[in-house]
């Protein structure tokens, strides 16, 4: 196997910014309009809410649930009204 093939094989195992808080339905960013992986916000999952967790957009947990794009659009639209 060539070095290039070996590198590609190893890269396939890396999950970079996938299923992180930023793309989770339970993440409430401080700034929904400009949210990115460095944004911080509250975790609103029912099992974690009592802990008042402040997480970043690049954090992960095993309770992840992907947020639909139309929900992101609605949150951003609401934030623009405020």
Residues 2-48 have pLDDT tens digits of 766 665 555 554 444 568 898 999 999 988 888 888 889 999 999 99
Query: Residues with Cβ < 8 Å from 28, sequence gap 6 or more?
Result: 41, 42, 43, 44
pLDDT at position 14 is 46
Q: What is the pTM of this model?
A: 0.70
> For a pLDDT cut of 70, what percent of the chain falls above it?
79
pLDDT at position 37 is 81
User: H/E element holding 54?
Assistant: strand 54-56
Max Cα separation, the chain?
Answer: 57
Residues 52-67 have pLDDT tens digits of 999 998 898 899 999 9
Give the start-to-end residue ranges of the domains of the chain: 16-81
């Amino acid at each position: 196997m060539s070095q290039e093939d070996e590198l590609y094989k190893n890269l396939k195992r890396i999950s970079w910014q996938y299923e992180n808080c930023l793309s989770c339905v339970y993440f409430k960013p401080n700034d929904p309009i400009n949210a990115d992986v460095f944004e911080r916000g509250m975790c609103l999952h029912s099992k974690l809410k009592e802990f008042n967790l402040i997480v970043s957009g690049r954090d992960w947990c095993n309770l992840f649930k992907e947020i639909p794009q139309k929900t992101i659009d609605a949150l951003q639209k609401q934030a623009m009204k405020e």
